Structure 1
């Protein structure tokens, strides 16, 4: 902003500017004063406003009504659904759940452990409230409403710049999450899309994969259509992923019955008005290995945004054909043809993501302590994020940590170059 020299400004202009600034401040203060927050425990009671807000292209599918309801039905965490009203109009919803640990009570985004990108649900038109005062007012009232039931509020994995918009809470202090997320813009056609990432090399790898699978009898790209097909592929994914984590000496983030029930609920929804909560894709062999599934991926789509939630491969057969890479090639080609605009590989730095993606999205954590214990929890959160970030930046140190994990789990496998999302 250009500095204003009041000593050189005519008195009438100076008064005019001061008057306009005073009126603007008064309007903003009045708007902020009329912002009220309320806390709810029932998703269904907020469904109409929720679905209206989530329709925006800038809202993450992880804050979608169907996603959050599937998680809530599969877990027993109390819900803390924070609604912000301006007069009688709902302008935002923060879908939180309460997680009770041994030391701290944390209010976090619903399903946070398995979300790739979080935005909350904010109206695209906040009027005079789109300011630092709005963000400060939200946090102040959030503390007043939740301090009796929670020690800390964590709004994790939030991009402050997302799809051309600045997040309404971007003015708040935040720590950079140890992981970024990675995206590939989908352009007018598949050829143009591939041109962003060395199309010649991609096509060569695709032909090599196809040639090796043809030697085994060929393959089919399968997109599960029925609930039975989706259930079968999802169960096979859990088995393949468990085997992979065991080899790597990593904790299995999909092993809990509640987590598996959550993904089964998503898959059972099929296609909805707003997209596809969970679509199962696979590579299935023909020939002597007829029916063998060698690669699986779960995609979620909301509007024109597609996120790969997870993937796995069968490492006992055809591993040299790079079935995971082949499946990504086929899925991205299909999503281009179906009008998607952004293919999201999700959070976590892995070499294959960097090889496909041209966009890296920084994510941040807003941490709000509500009690004395909450201040300790906030310090621990920031310290842990800083430590993880330092470890992941140091490949030698990260490999050492991986070896420690492997020894702890009693496996002799060597350290992997694959990066987990922790």
Structure 2
């Protein structure tokens, strides 16, 4: 069922006739719990059309998230469409309400599996001003189910070539940024001038790996490969996190269910890109990510431990993925959220992220205050010995607030 709100009235409407309005002016807000209600205009990973979005907001990927993460965590899914008078989409929002410690939190439909949270936008939003966005937010609350606080985090300022209108709400910097590599010229030119380290240094590690066996890079193209490669990645990730006594995403059934179902159910050959490095027949490194449009998303990487860990497997895997990207017309190689040191060696683009925290009830205000105190404490302890000790303790004890952040590679 779709709830429809006219922006000329606070009452919900059913099928309102088209009204005269300038293109790009918001005229109605539609709300549904079921994404398929918006099949006519919500983009899919292989059918973006006029929409601008990141892979994480594509309908086919969101559908898997609804069947796995949202179902397991009892998230109330909410899909919002802002339309003009001709019922053309201007902005689409994938949202969810989740209870944490008794607090009803409105967030993007993320589940810790999205590096960038944003609306899906269309060219009409280019002309929106701050007053337009604030009016839409006020009116949206009229048809949303009750919640205590909205936390809209990991928001980039731009979505493709269009601005993110939600940045015009009261936002603050998110603690981590995204990092990406723009690909231009040829692979040979890129390899010679932009890969970190010298060519001699990289060849040294290739040679050491070749001494152990024939080194090959393979991309999954059939069900058997998808299954074999994914199981190797899961095994390597779980082993790494158990050795370091941290929380492994694949130890959680809902996380594993999402990755497994997305791997086997989404259309081939993309958006899922699953690849491995092999030494003879042994999988020594693996990667799972998305390819949507001309953007490659590096999401989950793994490699063997023990005597393999000194052979720079992570860098060699990135090198092969970059070479593949050049051969397939990729324009942006996105290493995602997180400020790990290795990303600064590769990336020429930093994507600042933002968060809007909007309490609407007393309980939401209290939650916001507690959250701010916690974040300030984390910031003051970051880089200190006490902070490292506390981090190790927290990592060993999954909590509602922390357990579902996607583990970094």
Give distance in 2, aligned partners of 1:212 and 1:206. Answer: 10
Distance in 1 separating the partners of 2:231 and 2:290: 17
Deviations 1:54-82 (A, max 9, x none): 44574111001011001101131221111
1:165 positional shift = 3.9
Shift of 1:254: 2.9
When residues 202 and 383 of structure 1 are mapped into structure 2, their CA distance, relative to the original with a 3 A threshold, is farther
| CA distance in 2: counterparts of 1:408 and 1:168, whole angstroms | 37
The reply on whether 1:336 has 2:336 as its aligned counterpart is: no
Q: How does 1:253-402 map to 2 (within 5 A)?
A: 253-269=249-265, 271=267, 276-286=270-280, 291-392=281-382, 394=383, 396=385, 398-402=387-391
Q: How far does the alpha carbon of each residue in 1:192-217 deviate from its partner, in whole angstroms, 9 at most, with x for none?
A: 33455356x25334312210111112
Structure 1: segments with no counterpart, 5+ residues: 1-28, 410-418
Q: Is the 8 A contact 1:345 1:353 kept in 2?
A: yes
1: distance between equivalents of 2:33 and 2:64?
A: 15
Per the alignment, residue 65 of structure 2 pairs with 71
User: CA, structure 1 residues 406+363, in 2 after alignment: closer, same or farther (shift >3 Å)?
Assistant: closer
Contact 1:178 1:386 in 2 (8 A): no
Residue 319 of structure 1 aligns to a residue whose secondary structure is helix
Q: Which residue of 1 aligns with 2:221?
A: 225
3-state SS, counterpart of residue 248 of structure 2: coil
Equivalent residue runs for 1:192-207 within 5 Å: 192-194=189-191, 197=194, 201-207=197-203
Aligned length: 375
Alpha-carbon deviation of 1:183? 0.7
2:181 is the alignment partner of 1:184: yes
Change in Cα spacing, 1:395 to 1:214, as seen in structure 2 (3 Å) is farther
Matched, 1:46 2:44: no
CA pair 232-167 structure 1, distance change in 2 beyond 3 A: same
SS at match of 1:276: coil
> Can you list the C-alpha shifts for 1:272-327, whole angstroms capped at 9, x where unaligned?
6xx823211111111xxxx2111111121111111111111110342222111111
Separation in 1, partners of 2:57, 2:179: 19
> Residue 241 of structure 1 corresponds to which residue in structure 2?
237
Residues 407 and 299 of structure 1: is their aligned pair in 2 closer, same or farther, counting only changes over 3 Å? Answer: closer
CA distance in 2, matches of 1:202, 1:227: 38
| Consecutive aligned runs of 4 or more in structure 1 exceeding 6 Å deviation | 29-33, 406-409
Select the structure that is richer in helix. Answer: 1
The residue aligned with 1:102 is 101
**1:10 alignment partner in structure 2:** none
> What is the aligned-residue RMSD (CA, Å)?
2.8
Is the CA contact 2:121–2:159 (under 8 Å) kept in the aligned structure 1? Answer: no
Using the size of structure 2 for normalisation, the TM-score is: 0.83
Superposed displacement of residue 329, structure 1: 0.3
Determine which of 29, 37, 44 is the counterpart of 2:29: 37
Give, in angstroms, the shift of residue 391 of structure 1.
4.3
Q: TM-score, normalised by structure 1?
A: 0.81
Distance 1:406 1:105, change over 3 A: closer
Residues 61/381 of structure 1: CA separation in 2 closer, same or farther (3 Å cut): farther
Q: What's the offset of the Cα at 1:362? A: 0.9
